[in-house]
Amino acid sequence: MSDGGYMRARVVYDYPRDELIGTLLATGETFVTSDPKQMAELLFAAGVRHGQVQMPDWREGDIAPATGDKIALNFRLVQLGRQESGE
């Protein structure tokens, strides 16, 4: 699951620009990309692991990333974690 059991980042969707915005909660540093896999790589490089990313759901409106983007981002974080641990 998560490494440390807490949220380290939040990813939202910028509807007008069609981009994902990832923010590190500890520092406020942000990453912007339209590719959820690239967002995962940026977050992973910053120390964020699978289970440590909070993303709003549909109830929060247009800032919620699409379900497919959420899946792609989480799947890529899992892949990177497995590579890091040698699995």
Is 1 a domain residue?
Answer: no
Distance between CA 15 and CA 42 in Å, rounded?
Answer: 20
Let me know if residue 3 belongs to a domain.
no
Distance CA 21, CA 23 (A): 7
The answer to whether position 2 is within a domain reads no
- In this structure, is residue 20 part of a structural domain? yes
Does some domain include residue 61?
A: yes
Query: Model confidence over 22-73: pLDDT tens digits?
Result: 999 999 999 999 999 999 999 999 999 999 999 999 999 999 999 999 999 9
30 found inside a domain: yes
For the chain, what is the domain count? Answer: 1
Instruction: Give the per-residue pLDDT at 3.
Output: 45
Domain span at residue 20 reads 9-85
Q: In the prediction, which pLDDT does 87 show?
A: 80
How sure is the predictor about 5, in pLDDT bands with cuts at 50, 70 and 90? low
Asked if 24 and 9 touch (Cβ cutoff 8 Å), the reply is yes
